[in-house]
Structure 1
Amino acid sequence: MLSLGIESTAHTFGCSIIKHCRDDRHTSGNEFILSEIRDIYKASAGWGIHPRDASKHHAMVASRILKECLKESKVDIKDIDVISYSAGPGLGPCLRIGAVISRALASYHDKPLVPVNHALGHLELGIKLCNLDNPLTLLVSGGHTMLLVYHKNKWRVFGETLDITLGQLFDQVGRKIGFASPCGNKIEDMANLSNRNVLYSLPYIIKGNDVSFSGLLSSVKKLLEKNSINISDICFSLQETAFAIIVEAVERALAFTENKEFLIVGGVSANKRLSDMLQIACKSHNCSFNSCPLRYCGDNGAQIAWTGAQMYFSDPSFGIKPENAIVDQSWRLDSVFIPWR
């Protein structure tokens, strides 16, 4: 079965075609991904993602991205078996661009249409690429900071942020410095320039397995207003504090669940320091550490295509009529019924 996935949740517009087979769930590698093409909206320096401007970007690049996707996969649109699109959560104007394009393709070519939860796509693709069964999973991105465990046909939230996400923390600090969103890689680069002799005392807030970063953000912004302080030392202190909070939550979850598989997915999973700290935690709990490959840790069409294919293959009723293709900006991951596991 050939599945076309369209991703348009936030700053990324992506298309991907994957080949789904009945017996390939536990095969490793990414050979099933026939094509993956994306284009990312670039905000101005010091600014974040403006939903309207990002949606205009998506509308402008959509036709080219789709054509390149089909060309790379050497597949004709008529041969596609199912079309999937990111229906939420995300930015409304951006989500609607993907939904309208998917609706038009499904209607014109008479193809089944599957709405996919964007966050679920991160998890399912990561599990597939790392060849895992049922890992304790950490989803960290601009839109999510959640610890999740699969149980009885749903992903259960073991802990999450009480205010802003880890990605939002880095983006807001980065914009204060003068970077353009997304800022996670720039914060990491700045932290790596620190001589690591200075670690500023910053708010460390964890409540059970839930975390909070708003106080940390306020304190870091105040430090940045002091011209006498080295920015690289601030970024180093920010990373060390935020990641220590996350790792503590992960260790508590590992101790409680006794899970022997751990997976980190989402855009922030690209941070090497976070991965290093989590690997140490997993080793102490005799748990295997796994991270989604760098190419697929950010938003991409493959996560939508793969998840949509699993949904439709397990139950064709997941397919909807094109006129019913709606979006939900606040679609919770733990509300999605999962019959294929």
Structure 2
Amino acid sequence: MNWISNYVRPKINSLFSKRDTPDNLWTKCPECGTMLFHRELADNQNVCTNCDHHMHITPRERFSALFDGGIFVEVAVPEPIEDPLKFRDQKKYPDRMKSAQKNTGEKEAMLVAEGEISRTPVVCAAQDFSFMGGSMGMYVGNAFIAGVERAIALKRPFIMFSAAGGARMQEGILSLMQMPRTTVAIEMLKEAGLPYIVVLTHPTTGGVTASYAMLGDVQISEPNALICFAGPRVIEQTIREKLPEGFQRAEYLLDHGMLDRVTHRNKLKEELATILRMLGGLPPVVAGDLPPPSAEEAPKALEKPEGDAK
């Protein structure tokens, strides 16, 4: 046995050989170019630790950080008709849906859940921009209405996190019909005397902006979020003029009275808790006074009312 060839050389080669590194360990910030370690980025709620750029965050990740103890219960959503127009462009609509479901691990572009924020019971809905651009189709309309009905049944405030490229073209007029449907649902909330709070995230555009995203009792946005109906490039090409710096960004809209607050993602839970308790006539949140519920307390905290069929 040649121990140099069979043992020493392989050992040396293993020390100096290139080690494969998984591609998902590092994320490059699209704003400043800083390479961010995935755990550090996740701990900071997908906000760049160098320039504070707010990156995309999924509804589940958002709810895990928002609700006490990361505990929430999903609200069931009625299933719409599958591919009602038999639409096809480069792909069939059902094929696009299957691809989006595989890539995101989600059923559709909106997630609805109930839980507690600083011990304040709420119902929340959030759009997932990674699912076909968060586009508003019949399922999104059904999900919004299901969330509103659940909030009314439980007598809880309703919070909406918007992120969308607009209506879903594969559903045509049926997608556009979600605009009046969701507007009527908001009126139901108002008649029930329940707060409706909107948190606009990057980007919120098109028919979503023209409906439920701009009808909140309180309008909050994450920093530098693009909020518009038609994008700035389209407007510039139409009017043939240069638009103001930061046009249609959250800070610009705040200065011009279309938003109430622009809040950093890491401070959003505290901000929402303060607003919810103020609107509900509850005492203010005191630091350390409202710890997350334990596993034993969680089922009681989210207990459904008697006779509720949902």
**TM-score normalised by L of structure 2:** 0.31
Q: Which has the higher contact order (CA 8 A, sep 6+)?
A: 1
Q: Report the TM-score when normalising by structure 1.
A: 0.29
Q: Which has the larger radius of gyration?
A: 2
Answer 1 or 2: which has greater helix percent: 1
